[in-house]
Structure 1
């Protein structure tokens, strides 16, 4: 249990990230220019610290259980321009400058399909 009150976290000026029971918080990468949502991932304390230290988006890979620098194998880094924090500090919005596609499929954004009835249609 945290010693931080809800009012302190929601109305105060201190950065007091609220990690979930697994030590994670949601991080939404948004193109700083177009404002398109590029991807959603998770950060633990280490990923958040590395992101703040380097200016490059780092995440926690739940499947591999370790730190992941976005772009370390593809070269498609996300350069963080600004970090915004939601009202109860359990989610972050990273305004980023993408250096290539954000999605591992090669799509510019992970949100490249829309629901059309019971099927998925590709967004142009």
Structure 2
């Protein structure tokens, strides 16, 4: 589960992904139906690459299956920390002022488990 989170975090951290997410925020009002639809499509560009490496389909169905399977790890503090860092990276929660999301090499990186399919991971 932690490896999956780290792989997703790495994909969502890429410059091209972050630039596309920023463009999406500029083009559509965050929270609008169009924004949410386009954001899910953007998330799937990373998820479709990462999920098959961890035994899930690279599709919306695979995302739901992943989220269901990851529920078993909610007890893990490290899993929760990684999920929170992912949520920060994707803009679901704001990092504290002056603080950036932890970097992957510190072991505090995230990637799934923080944001749900309806939210975006």
Superposition TM-score, scaled by structure 1 size: 0.24
Q: Which has the higher helix share?
A: 2
RCO higher in structure (CA 8 A, sep ≥6): 2
Q: Which has the higher strand share?
A: 1
Superposition TM-score, scaled by structure 2 size: 0.25
